[in-house]
Amino acid sequence: MEWSIQEIARKAGTTSRTLRHYGEFGLLEPSRIGANGYRYYDQAALVRLQRILLLRELGLSLPAIAEVLEGQRDTSAALRTHLALLEQERERIGRQIEAVRTTLHKTETGEELMAEEMFDGFDHTRYEAEVTERWGREAYQKGDRWWRSLSEAEKKAFQDEQAGIARDFGAAALQGLAPDSDEVQAIARRQYDWLSAAPTGPAPTKEYVIGLGRMYVDDPRFTKNYDKHGEGTAVLVRDAMAVFAERNL
């Protein structure tokens, strides 16, 4: 069974022009082109398009999507990963909805507000299992104790600093600056200093910095946060951190 480009565009809520652009970029080839020049797509192409749209929804750029698709040849495994991420996000948003609903109800009825209820779904501890798996239980515990010891103003300043670094990386990406340029390496230095500010253990090693940079591209959650400042920002951060680590660590 196959569908025309117009049918697929309509069903996917996109445009024929977008699908042709994906094809020109090498992301989505038609299963065949008819004698009339029309493009047709089979079931395998539809599955690939679904993966592309899911990754776009997560904020990945087209080059980043190409890398992900190239690295994930097992379609079933890739879809399971997408499903897990979507379910995780649904669970988090559901908790936020309930937190806001509780706050609204108690505000309107004059009941006492509980911080635990108000901020459910917003806490950084939802990453506990992931951090523990990646870097060990001790790293999580040290980071958690340090974060909880900060005042609200200190937490905001720490977050604002990282947001500023991300914006500057985004501006550099939009300008087309090279990862090894002086301007980008100065931002990478700030990123390294920011990472070093959290007392979770020894100063970040060369391997840690390079690995973390790769994660900014490989993990859609990080990619989305960086690429919202401009397409290709996460890739620039990854490459800049690798250059910085090779030169300085």
Q: Give the tens place of pLDDT for each residue, 198-246.
A: 665 557 788 878 888 888 888 777 788 788 877 889 999 999 999 999 9
Question: Is 131 within 8 Å of 198 (Cβ atoms)?
Answer: no
**Residue 193 lies inside a defined structural domain of this protein:** yes
Instruction: Check pLDDT > 80 for residue 103.
Output: no
Which token pair is 52?
Answer: 């592309």
Question: Is 187 within 8 Å of 238 (Cβ atoms)?
Answer: no
Q: What is the pLDDT of residue 124?
A: 47
Q: What is the pLDDT of residue 235?
A: 92
Q: What is the pLDDT of residue 55?
A: 81
Q: What is the pLDDT of residue 127?
A: 45
Instruction: Check pLDDT > 80 for residue 104.
Output: no
**Count: domains in the chain:** 2
Instruction: Assign 132 a pLDDT band (cuts: 50, 70, 90).
Output: very low
**Residue 154 lies inside a defined structural domain of this protein:** yes
Please tell me the pTM assigned to this model: 0.47
Q: What is the largest CA-CA distance in the chain?
A: 71
Q: First CA to last CA across the chain, in angstroms? A: 55
Alpha-carbon Rg of the chain, whole angstroms?
Answer: 22
> What percent of the chain stands above pLDDT 70?
79
Q: Which long-range contacts (CB under 8 A, 24 or more apart) does 167-170 make?
A: 167/229, 169/226, 169/229, 169/233, 169/236, 169/237, 169/240, 170/226, 170/228, 170/229, 170/230, 170/233
Q: What is the pLDDT of residue 138?
A: 59
Buried b (16+ CB within 10 A) or exposed e, 168-178: bbbebbeeebe
Instruction: Check pLDDT > 50 for residue 15.
Output: yes
Residues 6+ apart with CB under 8 A from 204: 192, 195, 196, 212, 249
Q: Which domain holds residue 50?
A: 2-72
CATH of the domain at 35: 1.10.1660.10
**Residue 96 lies inside a defined structural domain of this protein:** no
**Residue 170 lies inside a defined structural domain of this protein:** yes
More confident residue, 119 or 34: 34
Average pLDDT over residues 2-10: 90
Instruction: Check pLDDT > 60 for residue 165.
Output: yes
Distance CA 144, CA 40 (A): 53
Q: What is the pLDDT of residue 139?
A: 56
pLDDT single digits (tens) 31-88: 999 888 889 999 888 888 988 888 887 667 788 888 878 776 677 777 777 677 777 7
Domain stops at, among 48, 72, 96: 72
DSSP assignment string, 159-226: HHHHHHHHHHHHHHHHHT--TTSHHHHHHHHHHHHHHHHS-SSSPPPHHHHHHHHHHHHHSHHHHHHH
**Residue 135 lies inside a defined structural domain of this protein:** no
Q: What is the pLDDT of residue 19?
A: 92
Instruction: Assign 118 a pLDDT band (cuts: 50, 70, 90).
Output: very low
Question: Where do the H-state alpha helices sit in 72-181?
Answer: 75-109, 115-118, 128-135, 137-149, 152-175
Beta bridge mates, 3:
41
Amino acid at 188: A
Domain stops at, among 51, 72, 93: 72
